[in-house]
Amino acid sequence: MAEKLVGACIIGQSGGPTSVINASAYGAITAALEAEEITQVLGADHGITGVLGDKLYDMGKEDPQELAYLKNTPSSELGSCRYKLADPEKDDTDYKRILEVFKKHNVRYFFYNGGNDSMDTCDKISRFMSKSGWACRVMGIPKTIDNDLWGTDHCPGFASAAKYIATSAMEVSKDGRVYPTGQVTIMEIMGRHAGWLAASAALATHFGAGPDLVYLPELDFDKEAFLDDVERIYKEKGTCFVAVSEGLHYADGTFVSEAKTSATDGFGHAQLGGLASRLCEMVKERTGAKVRPIELSLLQRCGAHLASKTDVEEAELAGRVAVQSAVAGETGKMVAFERAADEKGNYVCKTVLLPLTSVANAEKKVPLEWITPEHNFVTKDFIDYVLPLIQGQPERPTECSMPRYAKLKKVQA
C-alpha cells in the first residue's frame, strides 16, 4: 500500500478540443472531490499556461449540476493550450515556476488530459518533480480525436468524431445522388499522420450509403491511381463520393494540400483552399464532372450532439481512474484502454496504466492490413474495430431544443 499523500490537485486540458474532453474533466473532478486525500481541486486555465501563470480555479466552488453538464459540453471548458515545455536539461525555468506554484497551493496531484504532446509535457513534469524531491503524483488522461496515441486500444474523443464523420458521410452520400446528372463529392477529414478518422467514413458505406473510395495517409498518395478510381466509379454510377485524410502525401512526403500544381494556374502561383478543393480540381480536369469539396473542419471535433455514449462514458472513466490510481499511489502513468469481451462476447473496455515514457511522442497508425489491396478503402477489420466504440446516444440536455452546456463560475483559487 502506497503512502497516503495529502494535498491539492490540478486538472488541466491540453491540445485540440474534442466532444468528450470535458467528460474526462468531469470524471477527474468528481473523483478528486470525493477523495479524502485531496484537499482542493484546482482547474488550470488553458492547461499548463494556467499553472505557469498561477491562474487556477477552485472546482469545489462549482455547482454540481453545472459540473454534470460538462459531460455533454464540447471543447475544453477550462481552456486549452499548445505550449511546449523546454527540455529540462537545457532550460528548467518553466519547471521551477511550476514547482513554485505547486508549493504555493500544496499541489500533490497533477492530472493532464491530452494527446501525444501533452503526454510528453506530463512525462517531463513527472520526472522533474521526482528529481526535485517534491512529492507529487502525475497522471496522464488520454484524449485525441486522431486516435493516434500509442499503447491504448483507442482514445477518448475518437469515437464521437468517428460517429459524427460517419453520420455526416451517410447524409452527404444521400444528398450527392439526388440529381440525374451526378457529381463527384470529396470530403476532407482530419488526421495529419493517421487515417483513423477518414477510415470511419467507411462506416456509412457499411450501413448502406457512404463513400465509394477512402484514402488514408498511412500510404503514399498515387494521383493517377486516384483519378483512375474516381473516373471508373463516376462512369459506372454517375456519381462518386470520396473520403480523404487531410494528411494525404505524395511518395516524397509532400502533403498533397501543399504541393505546387499547375492545374488551374499556369503562372505557378500556389493554389488556395484545402485538400478537398485541390483534389476536386484534379477530378474536374480529368473527368469534366461537377465537383463538390466538403471540409468537415472544426465541426468534426466539436460535434457533441452526435457524441457516442460509449465514448462519453469511457472518457469519464479515464478521468476517474487517473485520480483513483494516483490516490492509490501510482504516478508517471497514462490511463489506457484495453478491449475485452464479456461472457456473451460483447465489447467491454478495461483500463490499464502505461508508463508515460512509453507513450510520449509515439504514434499509432491504422494497420496497413486494414487497408484494401487497391489502397482505396478499408477492410471489415476496421469496421469491427470502430463499431463498438460509437454505440449509444448519451442523454443530451437541451434548453428550448438548443444544447445546454456547462456554465462554470471559475472562481480563482
Contacts with a copy of itself by CB under 8 A lie at 17, 46, 49, 73-76, 79-82, 163, 166-168, 170-172, 174-180, 185, 203-204, 207-209, 264-265, 267, 269, 271-273, 277, 292-299, 301-306, 308, 387, 390-393, 398-403, 405, 407
- Supply angle C-alpha 292, 294, 300, rounded to 5: 165
Q: Which is nearer to a copy of itself, 134 or 207 (CB)?
A: 207
Which residue is catalytic, options 146, 148, 212, 311?
146
- The grid coordinates listed for 123 are 512525462
Q: Which is nearer to a copy of itself, 277 or 324 (CB)?
A: 277
What is the H or E stretch that residue 65 is in?
Answer: helix 64-69
CA–centroid distance for 118 within its chain? 12
Cβ 161 to a copy of itself shortest distance, Å: 12
Cβ 55 to a copy of itself shortest distance, Å: 10
Q: Which is nearer to a copy of itself, 179 or 250 (CB)?
A: 179
Q: Kindly report the number of other CB atoms within 10 A of residue 38's CB atom.
A: 22
CA atoms within 13 A on the CB side of 292: 14
Cβ 386 to a copy of itself shortest distance, Å: 11
User: End-to-end alpha-carbon separation of the chain, Å?
Assistant: 32
- The grid coordinates listed for 365 are 497508425
Q: Which is nearer to a copy of itself, 271 or 351 (CB)?
A: 271
Cβ 336 to a copy of itself shortest distance, Å: 24
* Beta-sheet strands, E only, within 252-357: 290-295, 333-341, 347-355
Active site includes 146? Answer: yes
**Residue type for 310, please?**
T
- Contact between residue 280 and residue 234 where contact means Cβ atoms under 8 Å apart: no
Edge-to-edge order in the sheet of strand 347-355: 56-58, 38-44, 7-13, 107-114, 137-142, 333-341, 347-355
Q: Which is nearer to a copy of itself, 48 or 323 (CB)?
A: 48
DSSP class per residue in 71-106: GG--S-TT------PPPTTT--HHHHHHHHHHHHTT
b/e sequence 152-165, b meaning 16+ C-beta within 10 Å: bbbbbbbbbbbbbb
- Contact between residue 206 and residue 383 where contact means Cβ atoms under 8 Å apart: yes
Cβ 355 to a copy of itself shortest distance, Å: 29
- The grid coordinates listed for 275 are 485538400
Q: Which is nearer to a copy of itself, 280 or 335 (CB)?
A: 280
Cβ 106 to a copy of itself shortest distance, Å: 26
Q: Which is nearer to a copy of itself, 81 or 327 (CB)?
A: 81
Cβ 306 to a copy of itself shortest distance, Å: 6
- Contact between residue 275 and residue 244 where contact means Cβ atoms under 8 Å apart: yes
Q: What are the beta bridge partners of residue 244?
A: 188, 215
- Residues identified as active-site: 146
